[in-house]
Amino acid sequence: MFENHFRHDFNFSVEIDIPAEASGGSQFITTIVFASMDNVLPPRNEDNSSSIVINGKVVLATTAAKIRNISITSGILNDTLGNPKCVFWNFTLFDGLGGWSDSGCSLLSHNSETISCSCNHLTSFSMLMSPEIIEDENMNDITIIGVGISMASLVICLITEALTWKKISTNTTSFLRHVSIINIAVSLLIADIWFIIGAYFRDDSKKEHPALCAVVTFFIHLFYLAMFFWMLASGLLLLYRTVFVFEGGLSKTSMLVIGFVLGYAAPLVIAVTTMAVTVPSHKYIRQNHGCWLNWEDSKALLAFVAPALVIVAINFLILLVVIYKMLRRREVRNTGQGKEQHVLVVIARSLAVLTPFFGLTWSLGIGTIIAPKNREINFAFTLCNSLQPLVVHCWFHYFSSVVCILVLLYTSKS
């Protein structure tokens, strides 16, 4: 029995160290050290390579405590072998037969006598588009902090919208734009909540409650897609008002109906269809690394990646059209160097505001698909999108509004 922290040096040249992060007070841990487990658990990995050899003690440690990291130091059996790897037995490989996996395990140190390994199984935001998961504690911390900031900021955004609704929805265009902002914020907030729930599903919990994990996956899929489709609705509204400058055309009610059908009905159809096709064959969710769409067996992940990237591409084209239209209108009034400087200001401002609002940073997901094991790309995707640049847009938008109000109040008193 141990209190939060566990460390023990066994008589088999094996040392187990669990940092002080287990919760729940006193906990029991059961450990078994095997000297020749390779006779029972064959040295096969994800690639089914025959060149690997078990060159150390196999340690079984089980506890009810919630543990994120565990470090094990073991003696080396054959010091003539090189290129050591730290692995754990993944029961989900080879259709349930099991195999060795180095996912989440890193080599701390090794010499001719001992090897030290650290294993953690975390979930980063890049799992939403990456077919493979990079286990990295820093990326996990960025995910938790980023999503937390995103959720808090979205709540503030929604409160601000509610308090200022009568002032900011004075015409049809303004009304529809802020309806889009509210629905983007609501969809993203709900999606982030379900993401946090799914990220902390342990593998044993998924095996005990697969239906619950499937439900979590469904709502993550649905509301992140809803966010993208509402971004598309915002882009189409901006394009419509850029091309048709004057009021008219589609009515306010018609555009509102189109927005809600596009924003919620379309993602609902995609999410339900994906679940209906893959659940009967038990290929809807991943076997490990939180609750999310399967990739290895059914490619269900494409039901999220494909619509998201298509919407990002459409919004990028809309951005180019909007910038082009704005520049053409400026040409009539500006000439010479002043025009050139003004053009740069227009382009910079458009990119700064519309890039996060249209979700263009999600295009980094292409990198996570092409190079799923590239840490730099996964870090960039996680940092940009767990913080949700949309939130940054909301912060700057409403911060500037509050500053203007304070300035007006100050000048009126003066």
Name beta bridge partners: 176. none
| Domain assignment of residue 280, yes or no | yes
Which two tokens mark 91?
């029961």
What pLDDT was estimated at residue 8?
80
Q: What is the mean pLDDT of the chain?
A: 76
CATH of the domain at 202: 1.20.1070.10
pLDDT at residue 270 is higher than 80: yes
Altogether, the residues listed in the chain come to a count of 414
Split at pLDDT 50, 70, 90, the class of 208 is low
| Domain assignment of residue 249, yes or no | yes
Do 84 and 158 lie in one domain? The reply is no
- Angle 172-199/389-413 helices, nearest 10 degrees? 130
Do 232 and 335 lie in one domain? The reply is yes
Residues spanned by the domain of 17:
5-129
| Domain assignment of residue 14, yes or no | yes
pLDDT at residue 337 is higher than 50: no
Tell which of 76, 108, 129 closes a domain.
129
Do 118 and 162 lie in one domain? The reply is no
CATH of the domain at 52: 2.60.220.50
pLDDT at residue 111 is higher than 80: yes
Give the residue with greater pLDDT, 232 vs 141.
232
pLDDT tens per residue, range 400-414: 444 444 444 544 444
Lowest mean pLDDT among 12-26, 91-105, 383-397: 383-397
Q: What percent of the chain has pLDDT over 90?
A: 13
